[in-house]
Amino acid sequence: MHSYGHGERGPAVAEIRGILAHLGLLEALRDGEVAEFDHPTEVAVRMFQQARGLSVDGRVGDETWRAMDAARWRLGDRTLYQALPDPIIGDDVFTLQERLIEMGYDTGRPDGIYGTATARALARFQRELGLAADGSCGPETLAALRRLGRKVVGGNAQALRESERFRHAGPTLIDKTIVIDPGHGGSDLGVVVPDGLLRWNEADLAYDIARRLEGRLAAAGMRVHLTRGPNRPGAMSDRDRATLANNLNADLFLSIHLDGHPNPEAEGCATYHYGNADGEVSTIGERLAGLVQREIVMRTRLTNCRTHAKSWELLRLTRMPAVRVEVAYLTSPEDRARLVDASFRERIVEAMMAAVQRMYFPVENDVPTGSIDVSTLRTPVSLSATSAGVA
């Protein structure tokens, strides 16, 4: 999709403005008024992006457009059903998923996509109420959903399920599956910074960290998959990366990036987990983000830019706890001088490995940040899972 921004005109801009007006973020166009992406439209787009946990740039690209298209729907506006191969997507689907989870029906983590798990959960609800169990949400099913109260008490149902799965997984890393995602790749180099005769780029440094982490975690008994090799073309979208992790039925997903900013004084590490404007958060993802952030800051003394909730597709569409780590600012002379040191990257890897191990410790048996000696997290060769890079 073409990325729309300030000064552009046309039917697509008219549709963008129409959605923003429907959401109450912008005044509707008057009869005969030319649809222009003007300053108020840019402000409205930024407000929408901020509220949705998207990257705030005031432009409407693929991810922002999909979020806007989903936001126009409210539960009851249309009949919902499982459509193949292109599923129905929208805020109405998200609301339905949350409602079913509150009533004790497992749709998986709410993602606004009407997939197989949602259709099965709704069909089960329909059977129990004596309705036609067709897995579609029409007026009769919607009336039943609104009439009945929630069944699950004592906390967020999906968070309880996620926590219970980890509690029963056991404390070791053996036979757990993790997908490590080195950001960018191939022709997409990410942040690129000239440094004397050298040119450092995000893609290569992120891949180096990912490969080091792959080796360490494989030695500890995990099944490790990389989303790309060193020369993979940079055409793999965040949606594709999430799909890959889902198809592998991974237990954890860790995306590694480096940040950049026009101001060279911007520095430090930040970690992101799934969360949206309605307060829906991946509880286990939030815990993983906190552990990764604290371990990196403790072991490297990078500036702590803290953890943040975002609804990026990479975090929203993964069906397992997922985080994106912006390890440091490649545009910061101080951070860059440390990042290009292989021994410093090893400390980052050790921090990530310690965080992954702590995920499997029961909360009551957790250990202080920085206290795990990751060199002891090894398994005998006969028990060690082999790692598998996805080229």
Q: Which helix (H) or strand (E) holds 288?
A: helix 283-300
Mean pLDDT of the chain: 89
pLDDT at 236: 81
Please report, for residues 6, 218, 237, the alpha-carbon distance to residue 391 in angstroms, rounded to integers and kept in the order given.
39, 17, 15
Residue ranges of the chain that CATH labels 1.10.101.10? 11-71, 91-153
Q: Which residues contact 340 (CB under 8 A, 6 or more apart)?
A: 195, 200, 205
CATH class (in words) of the domain with range 160-389: alpha beta
**Polymer length in residues for the chain:** 391
CB 166 within 8 A of CB 284: yes
pLDDT at 159: 64
Residue ranges of the chain that CATH labels 3.40.630.40? 160-389
pLDDT at 279: 73
pLDDT at 152: 52
Q: Per-residue pLDDT for 270 more than 60?
A: yes
What's the pLDDT tens digit per position in 70-110? 999 999 999 999 998 899 999 999 999 989 988 889 898 88
Question: 227-241, 283-297, 298-312: which range is least confident on average?
Answer: 227-241
The domain covering 91-153 belongs, at the CATH homologous superfamily level, to PGBD-like superfamily/PGBD (1.10.101.10)
CB 245 within 8 A of CB 321: no
Residue 68 region by backbone torsions, left for phi larger than 0, else alpha for psi between -120 and 50, else beta: alpha
DSSP label of 320: S
What's the pLDDT tens digit per position in 360-372? 998 888 899 999 9
CB 254 within 8 A of CB 296: no
CATH class (in words) of the domain with range 11-71: mainly alpha
For the entire predicted model, the pTM comes to 0.79
* Cα gap 218→213, rounded to integer Å: 8
What confidence category does residue 382 fall into, taking pLDDT thresholds of 50, 70 and 90?
Answer: very low
pLDDT at 91: 93
What's the pLDDT tens digit per position in 146-187? 888 665 555 556 666 677 777 778 888 999 999 999 999 888
Tokens of 137: 């949400």
pLDDT at 268: 97
